[in-house]
Structure 1
Amino acid sequence: MIIEFTGRPGSGKSTIAAQLQRMLSPGQGRQRQSFVRRMALQAGLEKTFLLLLLNTRFRKHPYISNAVLADYLIELGHSESDLDTRWLRTLLLLRDLDTHLSLVDQEPDDIHIFEEGLAQRGFGAILSGLSNNLVTRHYRDMPLSDLYVNVEVPADIVLQRLQDRDGSTRLYVRDEFVKGLKMELESRGAPIIDIDGTSSTHQAAKSILAHLQNTGSKVSARIHPGEFFINGTPPDER
């Protein structure tokens, strides 16, 4: 099972995701990287390795076969002038696609948490100036998670958090972007729950656990710090 968090930067996605990890049972959601990928990482060739993997092993998935990935990377190269931002958004998209598509064959009771995932990459596309057509295609063909947790926080609180965190004086993602993402997910029948990001982190994570238990997922609220990691990256490799 894949749980993906959505929401504006500063809404508390990472903090709630980490708390949810600590409250899940041990052994759920653990994924190890292959030897080949570890060697590619060490050689600085991760992007090349992921592109090759996605275009071979997962070539029949609509995101690949409909050229959404190829067009996303082409438009990103043309529209994003900051090289560091371009590199980061390319790598995050490739990592998320690889991790998400690789989890299809995992045990259904395994819980995999994305503090940010492919849904959030649509925000990155918008902020880098990619076309509305490309963003629509991204949302239409991206692989879906089993549950989306939308963390809602008023704009003024988000802005204050961003100022406290990194000195930012502006909202990165406007209300219409957040609403547009939710509409796209709902149009594809994706399950979404809304979480109040102004409540305590513990209470927010408990609400997610309660939803999972009410829908029959085999989870419990035992705390085992360090048993889980986010987006397929073990803590010692971050």
Structure 2
Amino acid sequence: MDGYPFTLAGAELTALASGALYWDARNLLCVSDLHLGKAERRARLGEPPLPPYETRDTLSRLENDLRQTGASTVICLGDSFDDSAAAAALPEAEKLWIAKLQAGRRWVWIEGNHDPGPVDLGGAHLAELPVPPLVFRHIARPGQSGEISGHYHPKVRLALRGRSLSRPAFLVDSNRVILPAYGTYTGGLYSHDEVLSTLMRQEALAILTGAMVHATPMPRQGTLRP
């Protein structure tokens, strides 16, 4: 299992290359911002279309992470669906796929700003979930400790061997972790954006996802790390 281990509030966690977070002591897998049904929502609203394959791709990667970790608890940190209508419009085969992934597991949907209420799928629906010493919620709150959140879709741009490299990334400091977006068609907010620079402490790390994980001091405004 390719990942970067770190500790938050005494909990030993692993940032996986896929963008999922694994907590071995709880056998818990956490993913954020799946945005399932984004292609359907864009088509419904008359926006430029996207190939309608993102839900299957996202679920395939999630299934692989569950197979690799054997997680018995799954927490989806909000914006699991691009909106409530997109959740309702999922093809039956994809609803059955989600049900298969849920079977035999505790599954928690945390409410996000795109999906603020329950959807007609299995699992529990919560505004946030405390699992001491951690708390799981969609949007980070200043002054919190032991917080796992998503929402911002953080990514990092690095200067590497004369080229600019951009990847989704975990942002980690002694108070919190902000997860990258897990969904296939999600964009992102660079770590040097003011909102992320303000939320994260000066010692924050960025853990880049992709073919392999790579940790670096979190790039801030005006910096590109070699």
TM-score by length of 2: 0.35
- Bigger fraction of residues in strand: 2
Q: Using CA pairs below 8 Å that are at least 6 residues apart, which structure has the higher relative contact order?
A: 1
